[in-house]
Amino acid sequence: MTMIFGVPMAVFMGQLTLGLVNGAFYALLSLGLAVIFGLLKIVNFAHGAQYMLGAFAALLAFNILGINYWLALVLVPLTVGGLSMLIERFLLRRIAHLDHLYGLLLTFGLALIFEGTLINWFGVSGARYATPEILQGGLNLGFMFLPTYRAWVLVAALAMCLFTWFMIERTRLGAYLRAGTENSQLMQAFGVNVPLLITLTYGFGVGLAAFAGVLAAPLYPVSPTMGSSLLIVVFAVVVIGGMGSILGAILTGLGMGVIEGLTKVYYPEAANTVIFLVMILVLMLRPAGLFGKEA
Amino acid sequence: MSTVIDEVTREPVEGRTASRTRDILKITDLHAFYGESHILHGVNVNVKEGELVTLLGRNGAGRSTTLKAIMNMVGRRTGSIVIGGQETLAMKPHHIPRLGVGYCPEERGIFASLDVHENLLLPPTVSSGGMSLDAIYAMFPNLFERRKSQGTRLSGGEQQMLAMARILRTGARILLLDEITEGLAPVIVQALGEVLVKLKASGMTIVLVEQNFRFAAPLADRHFVMEHGEIIEEISAAELSSKREHLNKLLGV
């Protein structure tokens, strides 16, 4: 059997795939966080809970309404994103003039409420969401066995990341978003409805989290706490990548997933901490992050 | 004797102008506040359609704040600001540009995350009749050459041209220009002066906040002198030569 640095090829490739899939989730989530932070200047602590809501919405939509996975992949981000716009409009906007710390506290409180409510109804054990039939099984690539659903997650997450990149970097609405991130007051003096732009941006960022949640539903147990543990890692990824660039967030997300995955192969004990070690290193050497602009 | 004749011959001309053109911008007893600090103390300014007026005064006199107050960019305002016959004091900030107002901030506000072309296309169209992209690039050939550059990589003069150019595209008919010559080389200042002459000739109404009085003097119809958040003097272009010394004293030059 082929060995890579003393590890069987199949094991190595398996962990690499796992790392890339995790990285794809990091990328989707950190992208949403970065977009929201850019315009609202709020660290959205509800992001993990909103990812969890995406997974739960897919689960409940299937169990109660019989809505299948593919439909859920479209409807759930729209619904969760749409409802989050109400949060922005009626809660976040009211405290927008205060210190941004209040936004952090408010979203943290919301996260606790979402989690607590769902724990109350469903407990913490978590439920299984069936993988859609067409994505069951796997491909034998010869050197490794590639589960179809993981491959799909990778493709779908990357496609969504690229779509986001395109929207922000190549469209007029994206130019508004970038300019508003720099100087929203001037944008308003040009006649741009900045409050509406803020609402849409929050909805979009949360929609990305919900999309990630639906993708995650067949992969991990759907439980009320699935978001909170992930969010801490995603924050570290955002710190490592910096707030400056969309592509930076995507690359950092994937890269950190891979580093985490490979650490599992060579030194499993450090797998849960390696990202935070990287974060400390980056903070010491490049405080603005790998892709961030120095202030 | 000659002054009487002057008066007689000039009177009907001014009378005619006044009846033909209305106040497109009328500010009455405007007070503005940033938090607790009271910046404007009852500003009164009227600008007729097609006029170019300046707001002169020392730093901190409230000139930039007056422009910001028109755009509803300050904390709190009282009084009245009527634009094109519409009271705007209760309007949201993003509705004011749609009355045909273009604002060019003192710090120019060029966006670093956008290239020159994107910066130019950024402000939404507020009414028809704005300059076409071709006409703008013809007026500012430098911008065309550098259209792919990051906005903030331009020289100070080019950034100023860009800040002006992008509001010309929107169809704004009232331009509020804050210190557009600040820190620019004389040759650029001269070019900006030529641009203003063209814009005025095309019927634009312009409110110019200026430090450089020699730049503003030959362009303007009237000058408003501000101090401590109030208009303390209004001087028409015709009165300028006789009041020059008085004005220098007011401006502290």
- Encode pLDDT of B157-186 as tens digits: 899 999 999 999 999 999 999 999 988 889
- Amino acid making up residue A212: A
> What is the per-residue pLDDT for B96?
96
Are residues A51 and A180 in contact, defined by beta-carbon separation less than 8 angstroms?
no
Output phi, psi for B92, to 5 deg.
-70, 150
Chain A residues inside the 8 Å CB shell of B130:
none
Closest CB to B98: pick one of A172, A175, A191.
Answer: A191
Which of B89-114 are b and which e, b meaning 16 or more Cβ less than 10 Å from the residue's Cβ? eeeebbebbbbbbbbbbbebbbbebb
How far apart, in whole angstroms, are the C-alpha atoms of residue B175 and residue B102?
5
**Tokens encoding A59:** 């689960």
Interface residue A194 vs chain B (CB under 8 A):
yes
What is the C-alpha to C-alpha distance for residues B80 and B77, in angstroms, rounded to an integer? 9
The answer to whether the Cβ–Cβ distance between B111 and A183 falls below 8 Å is yes
- Best probe of the A interface among B95, B106, B113, by most A CBs < 10 A, is B113
Q: How far apart are CA A240 and CA A243, in angstroms?
A: 9
- Measured between CA atoms, the residue of chain B closest to residue A176 is B122
Q: Which of A190, A193, A291 has the most B C-beta neighbours within 10 Å, making it the best mutation to test the interface with B?
A: A190
pLDDT for A102 equals 94
What mean pLDDT do residues B63-87 have?
A: 95
Instruction: Pick A188's closest partner by Cβ from B93, B114, B170.
Output: B93
Q: How many whole angstroms separate alpha carbon B211 and alpha carbon A294?
A: 33
Q: How confident is the model at residue B13 (pLDDT cuts 50, 70, 90)?
A: very low
> What is the mean pLDDT, run by run of 10 residues, along chain A of 295 residues?
78 90 95 91 94 96 94 97 97 92 95 96 88 88 86 95 94 92 93 95 97 96 93 92 83 94 90 93 91 70
**Chains A, B: CB pairs < 8 Å:** 57
* Token digits of residue B112: 């670093």
Of B112, B113, B122, the CB nearest to A190: B122
Q: pLDDT tens-digit profile of B77-104?
A: 999 999 999 999 999 999 999 999 999 9
For residue A153, give the nearest of A242, A64, A214 by alpha carbon. A214
ipTM of the complex: 0.84
Nearest CA in chain B to A194: B94
pLDDT at B6 over 70: no
Chain B nearest-CA distance from A169, in A, is: 9
Give me the sheet containing B76-83, strands edge to edge.
B37-48, B23-34, B76-83, B86-87
CB contact under 8 A, A189 and B98: no
B50, two tokens: 């097609």
The shortest C-alpha distance from A35 to chain B (Å) reads 14
Q: In chain A, which residues have their Cβ closer than 8 Å to the Cβ of B152?
A: none
Contact B103 A189 (CB under 8 A): yes
Q: What is the pTM of this model?
A: 0.88
State how far residue B214 is from chain A, nearest Cα, in angstroms: 29
Least confident span in B99-108, B145-154, B180-189, B243-252: B243-252
> What token pair was written down for B246?
């008085």
In Å, how far is A9's CA from the nearest CA of chain B? Answer: 43
Q: Which residues of B touch A182 (CB under 8 A)?
A: 111-113
Q: Provide the shortest C-alpha distance from residue B93 to chain A (in Å).
A: 6
Among residues 253-282 of chain A, which lie with CB inside 8 Å of chain B? none
| Among candidates B97, B103, B122 on the partner chain, residue whose Cβ is nearest the Cβ of A175 | B122
Task: List the one residue out of B236, B192, B228 whose CA is nearest residue B57.
Answer: B228
Is residue A46 within 8 Å of residue A113, measured between CB atoms? Answer: no
> What is the distance, to the nearest Å, from the Cα of residue A183 to the centroid of all Cα atoms in its chain?
26
Contact at CB, A194 and B170, closer than 8 angstroms: no
**Scanning the structure block, which residue is given the tokens 């609402």?**
A199
The H or E element containing residue B47 is: strand B37-48
Over the stretch B215-237, which tens digit does the pLDDT of each residue have? 999 999 999 999 999 999 999 99
